[in-house]
Copies of this chain bind each other. A is one copy, B any other.
Amino acid sequence: MIDQVRIVIENATPAVDGGRFPVKAVQGDTLEVSADVWKDGHELLKVAVMWRKLDLSELKPHAEPQAPDLQKKGWKEAPLQSEYALNDRWFGKMTLDEVGPYVFTVVAWTDFYSSWAEELRKKMAANQDVTSELLEGVALMEKVAVKAKAKSAILEKIAAIKAAKDNQAKAHIALSHEVAGLMEHNDPRFDLQAYDVEIPVWADREKARFGAWYEMFPRSCGTDPKKGTTFKQAEHRLEAIAKMGFDTVYLPPIHPIGTSHRKGPNNSETCNPGDPGSPWAIGAKEGGHTAVHPDLGTLADFDHFLAETKKHGMEIALDIALQCAPDHPWVKEHPAWFSHRPDGTIKYAENPPKKYQDIYPINFETEDREGLYAAVLDIFLFWAKHGVRIFRVDNPHTKAQSFWEWIIVEVHKRYPDALFLAEAFTRPKRMRRIAKVGFTQSYTYFTWRNGKKELEEYCNELFNSELKLMVRPNFFTNTPDILHEYLQKGGRAAFMIREVLAATLSPSYGIYSGFELCENVPVKEGSEEYLDSEKYQVKVRDWDKPGNIKPLVTAVNRIRREHKALQLGDNLRFLPSSNPNIVAFSKATPDYKDVVVTVVNVDPYSPQEGMVTLFDKLFHHQPNYLVCDLLTNAYYTWHGQTNYVRLDPRVLPAHVLHVVGGA
């Protein structure tokens, strides 16, 4: 018989590219699911979301969306409800209990009993003869009974209806609560229809969304600028980092550093004996991407460092930079993995007219792609075996996206709790695709968004557009490559401003060490590079340097941990303020029990004042209410929507206000 589809199911959300890529979520999340569902005619529908945790073995890179197989085991189900006013749109929720891959779909079927009952009631109300309708009802019940668990109970009811003395009495039974319940619980879903595809969802662990990162060079934890520190010697810094409230310690590459064409201080082409070189020039005779730099110690020292990090309640993020110094063992072992010039020499990195002779890019067009892919996978698995679960990936936008999709699936098959941060400061379409193929988080343009308008526009794009389904920003205030002019010129206030913005706008944020000390000297005017950059030399710091903002950083990190509202991204709402230098935004938990309003003066030079306007839900429609500045513990009584603020950057350029309640 010709297949006839009478129930239409369209536009199921959330979905990325109609199900081509997974929606990102976090273990424990309740996901709102909706779809357009309708059937020709007047019958009533039942609609449900069905979801299933996939086995890790089912994971595939570049998987086209599949039609749902409802025969598989493990489907869970929850009802979707419609609101007539919203025109055939149905809404419901699913929960993600575990870390890993899920799929969901939407199903619908005709509620034949309720449709019949509704018509019967209307006809009885109009005093029509319902003899025929009652016979139809009995026929429906008989059809349902055939395969019903409660078959005998249904048959009893049928007998009772048949035995009843008149139509009124028959209808009374047929429309009874008991019969309705029997029909609902034994509904064979005669015409069950499923959405075209299964939509994939990836549930990460909490850290994927919420984390405070601290980037540090383990060699720069000592007091002698001539001599780098080892992992052992660096361990003493972990306590201080943990005390500031960070939970993730991100290490630049820890591997042997090449000696050929090694760069000297300030990226100089002349390198003197003792210059340590850039950690991103990976590989020397001591080994490559799976070795530890002898100057840092042994693999066992790394393991110990990682264990110490854990003791402090933090974890390690490791940098994976797929490039080689000329001394990397791969260069000799796998010459096919590199590009060769016609004269036989290996091509170094170039951005004409610039040359980077200390770096060989890997040639992913190699004939030995199997070998190369396997070797790269081995790097990730090697460090995962050593307990690393966060990888900060260097320049993923310069490699094939299909490669990343493959790598991430392969790692996730073995370590579903692995997280990947994409270091791709690149155009939006590329950043988006990189997120789609599986990167957990992305660096963003945050460092270059310092004014009120550009912050609002950019954050709305990240947190309040469909991007939120795939891209998770990690707002770094600075990196070893990016010391923005705003920090160079704005002084201590600028550092405070950027700390508060990064940490309260985005649930994931990070600083690169020295930020807390307000280090702000560029290598030259107009450059975003640091003077005497840690990339090329050992750095010695006074960690208690006067003017440091460690107390603020510590406070902000504590506030983030104490306030669930700050641990979410898509709850960001910018609030109107009367001053173009005052940025204001709220974050609230879905139940509005935890409400935080952040107000920042983005002008690091002058005090600014103005009126900030909240929406009613934030203060539970109360005429007067208390707000507590979590940075200072000061309480203010606010009245209605619009209230006055004044922020002096010489003192503290921000309020992080907790809406306490009635005053």
A residues apposed to B, CB below 8 Å: 1-6, 8, 10, 17-18, 36, 38, 40-42, 87-89, 119, 122-123, 125-126, 128, 132, 135-136, 139, 341-343, 350-353, 364-365, 367, 369-370, 373, 397-403, 406, 427-430, 433
Contact = CB atoms under 8 A, between A and B. Distances in A.
A463 to B, nearest CB: 20
Contacts of A119: 350, 352
Q: Choose among A18, A136, A139, A400 the residue with the greatest number of B CB atoms under 10 Å from its CB.
A: A400
A429 B88 contact: yes
A123 B89 contact: no
A535 to B, nearest CB: 23
B342 A38 contact: no
A4 B87 contact: no
A402 B40 contact: no
A122 to B, nearest CB: 4
Nearest to A6: B400
Given A126-B353, A139-B342, A343-B132, A429 B36 contact: yes
A82 B365 CA distance: 26
A428 B87 contact: yes
8 contacts: A3-B402, A4-B403, A10-B17, A38-B429, A41-B398, A119-B350, A122-B352, A123-B352
A220 to B, nearest CB: 32
Contacts of A406: 2
A4 B397 CA distance: 14
A17 B397 CA distance: 28
A438 to B, nearest CB: 14
A353 B433 contact: no
A88 B431 CA distance: 11
B8 A401 contact: yes
Contact of A353 (B2, B123, B350): B123
B400 A5 contact: yes
Copies per assembly: 2
Nearest to A355: B128
Contact of A429 (B89, B350, B429): B89
A465 to B, nearest CB: 14
A300 B122 CA distance: 48
Contacts of A398: 40-41
Contact of A341 (B136, B342, B430): B136
A629 B356 CA distance: 70
A167 to B, nearest CB: 13
Contacts of A36: 429
Given A122-B352, A126-B353, A352-B126, A132 B342 contact: yes
A87 B429 contact: yes
Nearest to A138: B342
A362 B613 CA distance: 60
Contact of A369 (B1, B41, B89): B1
Contact of A8 (B128, B135, B433): B433
Contacts of A403: 4
A18 B11 CA distance: 11
A610 B357 CA distance: 71
A83 B126 CA distance: 67
B88 A430 contact: yes
Given A353-B122, A353-B126, A429-B88, A135 B2 contact: no
A4 B126 contact: no
A20 to B, nearest CB: 8
A369 B132 contact: no
A4 B402 contact: yes
A219 to B, nearest CB: 31
B401 A40 contact: yes
B370 A2 contact: yes
A17 B9 CA distance: 13
Contacts of A87: 427-429
A189 to B, nearest CB: 16
8 A-B pairs closest in CB distance? A126-B353, A135-B342, A122-B352, A5-B402, A88-B429, A6-B400, A132-B341, A36-B429
A190 to B, nearest CB: 11
